[in-house]
Structure 1
Amino acid sequence: MRPPTAPVPCRMVLALVLALVLAGCSPGVEGLDPHATARPAPVAASTTAAAPSTPPTPPATPSTPATPATPGEPGAPELLGSFDVGLAPEVSGIAASRREPDLLWLVDDATGTSQVIGVRHDGTTAAEVTVDGLDAVNLEDLAAGPCGAGDPSPCLYLADIGDNVAGREAIAIHRIGEPAPGDTTAVATTARYTYPSGPVDAEALVVGADGLPIVLTKEEGTTRVMAATAFADGALVQTGQMPVPQPSSPLLTGFVGLSVTGADASHDGSRVLLRTYDSVVELTAPSPGAPLSDLAAWTAAELPAAPEGQGEAVAYLPDGRSYVTASEGSGSLWAVSRS
């Protein structure tokens, strides 16, 4: 999705800031500390036991510092590869394949999107899969996960959840079996959901071991956690709300706001990555088996992020520790490695 439009002078300043930042950070990560550790991000999480009847009051300014992220120290962002930007010029979601270790899936958020794109880690195109019947309104994220609690086979979840004017009566999550090598088409099962407090914009989706979608809303300075109780038409339930941690280098935040633009859950469900226009934040569960729907109460830590112009896509890599990001209009895949 396009971020909120800034006045013309601000947009010119924004372009200059991005040009200076990108000029100082080459793909070889010059200018970035290769031994950087996770940067603490102030956050104070709060949970909501039941769905509110009216939009909740924004939480107070966070003051509690987040603890360092685990596991292992992250390195600096490095250019992993470059994909054909013409296949996904407005890339808004990315997910690591659960079939092939060297495969990433991408989705584009242009109106009418009907495909998922597979690329290798170096960006080489591996698949172009048309989803039968898919005519997305605003496809904003992509998640990989099991096809259900009793079905461990791999699925992809396509989140048609974008709503910049907060006017959609319902959102849609499309589930397809992860395409096998050589597949060119897929058939989707679709669940349509409503929000407990009315329409709201969202760009982030995670899916847990039970195969149930969890949407994170895109709101200024905060995000609400909206969980499905079944993969079927119905209402989402608000299970929590948290302030979005302030980035340590807020280059874009002052122009386009502070909000969650993408997310991904680790394979074991113990950690969640959040993307903002300026940062990557990792949430860590307090104990093994903690419900993914309680993620608003998890410990947060800021991790290194590449200087991207419009970062909306983030995903864990197959090792479950390292991660990859992508931005609209660039065709670049940036990775951060962790031991």
Structure 2
Amino acid sequence: MLLLLAACVAESGSASPAGDTSRSHTGDTASDPLETASAPNDTAPDSSETAGDPDTGDHDSADTALDTGAAPITGPCAAYAPAIGFGPVQDPGLNELSGLAVSRQNPGILWTHEDSGGSPDLYALDSAGDTVATIHLEGVTNNDWEDLAIGPCGAGWCLVVGEIGTADWEHSVLVVEEPLLDGTAEYTLIPEVRPFTYPGDPEDAEGLALFPDGTPLIVTKRADATAGLFQLPAGASELEWLADIATGAAGEDLTARATAADLSTDSTTLLVRTYLHLYEVDVTNPRAPGTPVVTPFALELQGEAVAYDPIQGGFWQVGEGSNRSLFYTGCVE
């Protein structure tokens, strides 16, 4: 296989990082962004009231044409509409979802997985919340899977799972080629396992994203209202520290811990979720990121999954618990 190169809300009144600003949040309707026949089930409560050097040469730009009949979105939204609820997730056994990625080659599909101790499986959901297909990853265990990303590999796309939680466990990313779904309900694939260590003390992490060239970006989860950004260069087994970012106000603890992440298609913006906030961070130069910007989203208990939609724009999110809604926050046109 071609290798890709390279926990509940307790303080609802917490403040945002000093110096941040909020993106606007307008509009009130949304069609199904995954282009399926299902209708939205509700409008989400929003959290909008909470409040470099452009040329690093480190990563290739995102210029891959997406084979979906729609032009790829090259950056984040300038403004967001209210979040709309879809689903809910139909399988009551999927009650600890902790990763999310939007498929490029399978229009209408969201890939997800369970948190620590779950089956070593990836689930393809449609926006009605139905499980369309399941991929079983053979030969590995879900010790503490925390996030999921999709990136290019060869002529297709690969799903990359972050076995990145719990600081004192072995960490790795797991890589499998994304199948072109054809009605098959179950797949069994052997992942490529890429173990890694931290340059210093090991950290707990719950955020994983991919640069356009496939380089994994790890976003750590800390108790001091910060997160560390690390990358795993091609051929390396040790992470490289890039920068630290603020994920909450000084003194904020549980609600400021980073629980999920994703990169915009053009890799200029990092989406970071915490238990109380959602931030967009300018990472045009990932070694000198901008100030986190508060972004409106659907506030959920135990939310640990978020993903940009590279085709329709906006982003998706889902929280832990049985029969949870899939929320979509789209761009204002």
> Normalised by the shorter chain, which TM-score bucket?
0.7 to 0.9
Query: Match of 2:86?
Result: 80
Query: Match of 2:215?
Result: 212
Give the partner amino acid of 1:74.
Answer: Y
Query: Match of 2:244?
Result: 241
TM-score (norm 1): 0.72
Give the partner amino acid of 2:266.
Answer: D
Query: Match of 1:62?
Result: none
Count how many residue pairs are aligned between Structure 1 and Structure 2.
275
| Cα 1:30/1:122, change in 2 over 3 Å | closer
Q: Judge conservation of contact 1:101–1:318 (CA < 8 Å) in 2.
A: no
Distance 1:261 1:30 in 2: 20
RMSD of Structure 2 on Structure 1 (CA): 3.2
Query: Match of 2:26?
Result: none
The correspondence of residues 1-339 of structure 1 with structure 2, limited to 5 A, is 3=7, 28-29=42-43, 41=51, 71-111=77-117, 113-147=119-153, 151-163=154-166, 166-168=167-169, 170-181=170-181, 182=184, 184-220=187-223, 221-230=225-234, 234-246=237-249, 256-285=254-283, 290=284, 293-294=286-287, 297-319=289-311, 321-330=313-322, 331-338=324-331, 339=333
- Could you say what secondary structure the match of 1:297 adopts? coil
| Cα 1:95/1:192, change in 2 over 3 Å | same
Distance 1:80 1:211 in 2: 30
Per the TM alignment, residue 28 of structure 1 is displaced from its structure 2 partner at its CA by: 3.3
Q: Judge conservation of contact 1:312–1:328 (CA < 8 Å) in 2.
A: yes
| Cα 1:212/1:87, change in 2 over 3 Å | farther
Q: Judge conservation of contact 1:113–1:134 (CA < 8 Å) in 2.
A: no
| Relative contact order higher in (CA < 8 Å, ≥ 6 apart) | 2
| Cα 1:222/1:174, change in 2 over 3 Å | same
Give the partner amino acid of 2:168.
Answer: G
Greater per-residue helix proportion: 1
Distance 2:213 2:45 in 1: 42
Q: Judge conservation of contact 2:199–2:240 (CA < 8 Å) in 1.
A: yes
Distance 1:274 1:31 in 2: 19
Distance 2:91 2:253 in 1: 25
- Could you say what secondary structure the match of 2:256 adopts? coil
TM-score (norm 2): 0.74
| Cα 1:153/1:246, change in 2 over 3 Å | farther
Distance 1:30 1:136 in 2: 31
Deviating runs (4+, > 6 A) in structure 1?
Answer: none
- Could you say what secondary structure the match of 1:261 adopts? strand
State percent identity of aligned pairs. 28
Query: Match of 2:69?
Result: none
Cα deviations by residue, 1:266-303 (Å, 9 ceiling, x for unpaired): 22222221111112111234xxxx45x43x51353211
Per the TM alignment, residue 27 of structure 1 is displaced from its structure 2 partner at its CA by: 5.4
Query: Match of 1:48?
Result: none
- Could you say what secondary structure the match of 2:258 adopts? coil
Give the partner amino acid of 2:308.
Answer: Y
Distance 1:30 1:335 in 2: 9
Q: Judge conservation of contact 1:171–1:192 (CA < 8 Å) in 2.
A: yes
| Cα 1:27/1:177, change in 2 over 3 Å | same
Cα deviations by residue, 1:285-339 (Å, 9 ceiling, x for unpaired): 4xxxx45x43x51353211121211110000124363111010104210111113
Give the partner amino acid of 2:90.
Answer: D
Gaps of 5+ in 2: 1-6, 14-39, 53-74
Cα deviations by residue, 1:44-98 (Å, 9 ceiling, x for unpaired): x9xxxxxxxxxxxxxxxxxxxxxxx953321111102211343421100000012
Q: Judge conservation of contact 1:39–1:301 (CA < 8 Å) in 2.
A: no
| Cα 1:31/1:212, change in 2 over 3 Å | closer
Per the TM alignment, residue 100 of structure 1 is displaced from its structure 2 partner at its CA by: 1.6
Gaps of 5+ in 1: 15-25, 46-68, 248-252
Give the partner amino acid of 2:265.
Answer: H
Per the TM alignment, residue 139 of structure 1 is displaced from its structure 2 partner at its CA by: 0.3
Q: Judge conservation of contact 2:149–2:262 (CA < 8 Å) in 1.
A: yes
Give the partner amino acid of 1:298.
Answer: G
Q: Judge conservation of contact 1:179–1:186 (CA < 8 Å) in 2.
A: no
- Could you say what secondary structure the match of 1:257 adopts? helix
